[in-house]
């Protein structure tokens, strides 16, 4: 019979079992037997490959040193060892083993995990042969075992690495796109790439689908009955139930992938980006940034990953995505986005400190047949950008009308640096007016992007992007130089006026250690005296993410530059603390002034004006406190005469707003200086 060792040694090559070697004379037979046995014994003992002979009671009869070493034992000690001591009895006998039992095959090859004495797993390729007696009855099993742990681990690792982010261990971009493409039907990737669970995580052992295809028939079709007591050997070989090869649909385009023919299926995507992550990374160091990303990833995965239905992936940097593979509709997605934003608001314990972060989320939800993976991503990206532009820490649902008119965040961000080189930015100036006498004390420099296609873009559209991408550093430097140059021109034309320029500094610029050098260079280059430069910094930027004040502030103040806290009242508003820093000016946020309305008729306040009164009292108290602490106060957003008058009564020093002048060309400031006064307040 093909594949049988008929006519030669039918018994164990290493044990002296019954032999059926024909009819030579007894002495010759014994000699031949001894010679043969010692040859086989030497081959067995010296073999580089692990070998073990297993009896029908599932105990090892003999193992060679190579096998013993593989699992951390001495060969003699393995004798009588039950196979369950070196292999988990996790698998039930399966079809292939039963075929072996029935004699339909003589050998099997499987990949199997063995237990090393020290506890770790040893992956092995095991070839099992039945050894029969002269009558063809099964006697023993000979296992030949090859250690493939390294290849196996490498293979796992490569598959894992290709699909997962090494830092957070979340599915990566590749896996995300694979999954997304799979949703849109076969043909995109050519296989059932949607089955995320089947990409092996090390440690996911035990999932049959992650095991390499298990058993390969080598040879043997001998019919063999009466194999009792060998069931347990199935545990050793751990036979994997192979699908019937003849019914496999082929490796490409399995039928079960959800296709576009399913008209009603919907998909949803929450595309998330942490706010101000770049600043955290820069200020607290990359290791803290990394830890934060890991913590965010863990929270997202724990809260939102749901098997095959939902995928949480890290798309890069501080961008994450939650893909909802079978969405119920936009309400489900917006609910999810609400949870996302809320869940991330809880502070993170990172590197021994509490870090508060927020996230902006773009939400897109639609029928699969109406979109493509590319469009879904593009629109999610644009929507994320709207969330950022609308003030961060929020989600925004895709709005097709808005989408048609908006640039994608990506396009803007990448266009920033070249635009700076092409000279597409300009600075407008808005007067800062003394409330006591209506004269212009200085002007705030406000940058604009004269985009060749999209017209003039306001800083809210691109400053956050510039901060994230780092383009704020060259852009901010340019604004600084340009503003100093302008202020120097005002000084030359109106030496008496001492008009200062007030330049906004972004957090990232301040934490950049070069800011002091950059400012000094700008002053030197333009010849502007330091006393005519004011720098506006937000409260949160002064304190920094770790709550530490900025060292650079002191250096700048020592140079004679004035430091203003911008948008005061929107952050921590810790006046007592700020007054201990080298800060000179508070710029009250426009929201305080919004509540300043016309006084009540007849001068008697009624309930409708309580809000006004409260705002006035708050502003009044802040002004007094600031003055007591040696700070001057500027109010932003003054839009009408009444606000200006009420503000003047609070004792506020200077004001800025459309009532006096909108931001405009530098020449407007010169014209006002020539006139002497903006308006009488
Ligand atoms: P900000 O520093 O608080 O600037 C004041 C903003 O209020 C300006 O908006 C100004 O045009 C606007 N504004 C002035 N008067 C009124 C008013 O009466 N009513 C109302 N509703 N708004 C008024 P803009 O120019 O769009 O700038 C927005 C923000 O962009 C600025 O807020 C500042 O934070 C940032 N920014 C502008 N230029 C630069 C820059 O060169 N560097 C950096 N880092 N940030 C800048
Ligand atoms: Mg400002
Ligand atoms: Mg402001």
Residues 52-71, mean pLDDT to the nearest whole number: 90
- pLDDT band for position 512 (50/70/90)? low
Tell me the average pLDDT across 254-264.
45
Ligand number nearest to the C-alpha of 463:
1
Instruction: Confirm if 266 and 368 have CB atoms less than 8 A apart.
Output: yes
Q: How far is CA 12 from CA 20, 83, 525, in A?
A: 12, 19, 94
pLDDT at 331 over 60: yes
Contact (CB, 8 A) for 32 and 21: yes
72 backbone φψ class: left, alpha, beta (φ>0; ψ -120 to 50): left
**Would the pLDDT of 586 be above 80?**
yes
Judge whether residue 631 has pLDDT over 70.
yes
Please give the residue that has the higher pLDDT: either 410 or 593: 593
315, 321, 327, 330 alpha-carbon torsion, rounded to 10°: -130
Where is average pLDDT lowest: 34-48, 166-180, 185-199, 634-648? 185-199
As a whole number, the mean pLDDT across the chain is 79
616 or 669, which is more confident: 669
Ligand 1 pocket, residue 512 CB under 6 Å: no
Give mean pLDDT, residues 494-515. 89
Find the helix or strand (DSSP H, E) in which 492 lies.
helix 472-493
Could you read off the pLDDT of 158-191 as tens digits, one per residue? 888 889 999 999 999 999 999 999 998 764 433 3
Helix (H) or strand (E) holding 146: strand 138-147
Task: Give CA–CA dist 344/323, Å, rounded.
Answer: 17
Strands (E), 472-561: 500-504, 533-538
Contact 498, 539 (CB under 8 A): no
Q: Does residue 638 have its Cβ closer than 6 Å to ligand 1?
A: yes
Confidence at residue 97, expressed as pLDDT on a 0 to 100 scale: 59
Question: Mind giving me the DSSP string for 63-106?
Answer: E-HHHHHHTT--GGGGTT-BGGGTS-TTSPP-HHHHHHHTTS-S
Share of the chain above pLDDT 70, in %: 77
Q: Backbone phi, then psi, for 217, in 5-degree steps?
A: -75, 125
Residue to probe by mutation, ligand 1, list 442, 446, 592, most atoms within 8 Å of CB: 446
Residues found in the chain: 681
The closest-lying atom of ligand 1 relative to the alpha carbon of residue 466 is 44
**b/e burial code for range 209-243 (CB count within 10 A of at least 16 → b):** ebbeebbebeebebebeebeebebbbbbbbbbeee
Ligand nearest to the CA of 660: 1
Q: What is residue 474's predicted lDDT score, i.e. its pLDDT?
A: 94
Is residue 359 within 8 A of residue 272, CB to CB? The reply is yes
Mutational test site, ligand 1, from 466, 487, 504, max ligand atoms within 8 Å of CB: 504
pLDDT at res. 189: 34
Residue labelled with tokens 């080598």: 218
Q: Is the dihedral of CA 289, 291, 294, 296 positive or negative?
A: negative
Q: Please give the residue that has the higher pLDDT: either 279 or 98.
A: 279
What is the rounded CA–CA span in Å between residue 386 and residue 388?
A: 5
Measured from the alpha carbon of residue 510, the closest ligand is 1
> Which two tokens mark 257?
């992938």
Average pLDDT of span 541-551: 66
Q: What is the average per-residue pLDDT within 387-396? A: 90
The response to whether residue 502 sits with its C-beta less than 6 Å from ligand 1 reads: no
- pLDDT band of residue 194 (cuts 50, 70, 90) is very low
The b-or-e profile of 26-60 (16+ CB within 10 A means b, else e) is eeeeeeeeeeebeeeeeebeeeeebbbbbbbebbb
Is pLDDT of 527 > 80? Answer: yes
For 145-155, write each residue's pLDDT tens digit.
999 888 888 88
pLDDT of amino acid 22: 45
- pLDDT for residue 605 is more than 60: no
Q: Per-residue pLDDT averaged across 220-224, rounded?
A: 27
Ligand 3: distance of its center to the CA of 130 in Å?
Answer: 84
CB 315 within 8 A of CB 173: yes
Give the range among 281-295, 569-583, 655-669 with minimum mean pLDDT. Answer: 569-583
């Amino acid at each position: 019979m093909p594949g049988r060792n008929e006519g030669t040694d039918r018994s164990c090559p290493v044990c002296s079992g019954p032999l059926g070697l024909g009819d030579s004379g007894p002495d010759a037979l014994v000699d031949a037997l001894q010679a043969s046995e010692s040859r086989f014994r030497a081959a067995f003992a010296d073999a580089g490959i692990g070998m073990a002979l297993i009896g029908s009671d599932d105990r090892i009869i003999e193992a060679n040193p190579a096998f013993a070493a593989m699992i951390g034992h001495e060969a003699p000690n393995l004798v009588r060892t039950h196979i369950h001591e070196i292999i988990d009895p996790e698998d039930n006998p399966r079809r292939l083993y039963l075929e072996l039992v029935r004699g339909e095959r003589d050998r099997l090859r499987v990949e199997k995990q063995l237990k090393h004495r020290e506890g770790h797993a040893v992956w092995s390729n095991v070839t099992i042969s039945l050894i029969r007696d002269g009558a063809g009855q099964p006697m023993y099993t000979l296992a030949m075992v090859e250690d493939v742990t390294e290849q196996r681990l490498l293979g796992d690792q490569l598959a894992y690495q290709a699909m997962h982010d090494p830092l957070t261990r979340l599915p990566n971009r590749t896996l995300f796109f694979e999954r997304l493409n799979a949703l849109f039907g076969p043909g995109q990737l050519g296989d059932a790439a949607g089955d995320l669970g089947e990409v092996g995580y090390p440690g996911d052992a035990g999932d049959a689908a992650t095991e390499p295809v298990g058993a390969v028939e080598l040879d043997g079709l001998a019919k063999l009955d009466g194999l009792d007591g060998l069931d347990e050997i199935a545990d050793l070989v751990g036979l994997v139930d192979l699908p019937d090869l003849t019914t496999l649909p082929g490796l490409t385009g399995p039928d079960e992938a959800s296709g576009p023919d399913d008209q009603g299926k919907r998909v949803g995507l929450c595309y998330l980006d942490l706010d101000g992550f770049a600043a955290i990374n820069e200020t607290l160091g990359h290791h803290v940034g990394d830890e934060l990303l890991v913590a965010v990833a863990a929270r997202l995965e724990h809260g939102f990953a749901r098997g095959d239905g939902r995928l949480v992936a890290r798309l890069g940097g501080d961008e994450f995505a939650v893909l909802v593979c079978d969405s119920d509709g936009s309400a489900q997605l917006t609910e999810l986005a609400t949870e996302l934003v809320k869940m991330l608001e809880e502070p993170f314990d990172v590197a021994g400190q509490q870090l508060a972060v927020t996230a902006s989320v773009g939400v897109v939800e639609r029928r699969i047949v109406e979109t493509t993976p590319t469009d879904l991503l593009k629109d999610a990206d644009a929507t994320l950008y709207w969330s950022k532009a609308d003030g961060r820490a929020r989600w925004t649902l895709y709005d097709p009308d808005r989408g048609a008119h908006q640039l994608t965040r990506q396009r803007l961000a990448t266009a920033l640096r070249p635009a700076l080189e092409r000279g597409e930015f300009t600075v407008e100036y808005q007067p800062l007016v003394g409330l006591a006498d209506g004269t212009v004390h200085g002007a705030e420099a406000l940058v604009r992007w004269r985009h060749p296609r999209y017209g003039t873009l306001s800083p809210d559209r691109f400053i956050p992007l510039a901060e994230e991408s780092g383009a704020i550093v060259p852009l901010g430097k340019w604004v600084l130089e340009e503003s100093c140059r302008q202020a120097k021109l005002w000084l030359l034309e109106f030496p008496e006026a001492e008009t200062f320029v007030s330049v906004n500094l972004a957090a990232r610029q301040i934490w950049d250690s070069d800011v002091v050098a950059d400012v000094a260079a700008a002053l030197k280059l333009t010849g502007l005296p330091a006393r005519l430069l004011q720098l506006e910094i937000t409260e949160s930027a002064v304190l920094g993410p770790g709550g530490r004040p900025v060292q650079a502030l002191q250096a700048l103040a020592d140079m004679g530059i004035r430091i203003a806290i911008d948008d005061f009242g929107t952050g921590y508003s810790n006046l007592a603390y700020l007054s201990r820093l080298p800060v000179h000016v508070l710029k009250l946020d426009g929201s305080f002034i919004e509540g300043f309305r016309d006084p009540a008729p007849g001068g008697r306040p009624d309930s409708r004006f309580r809000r006004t009164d409260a705002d006035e009292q708050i502003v009044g108290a802040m002004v007094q406190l600031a003055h007591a602490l040696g700070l001057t106060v500027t109010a932003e957003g003054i839009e009408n005469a009444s606000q200006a008058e009420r503000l003047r009564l609070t004792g506020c020093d200077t004001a800025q707003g459309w009532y006096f002048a909108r931001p405009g060309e530098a020449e407007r400031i010169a014209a006002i200086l020539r006139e002497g006064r903006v308006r009488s307040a």
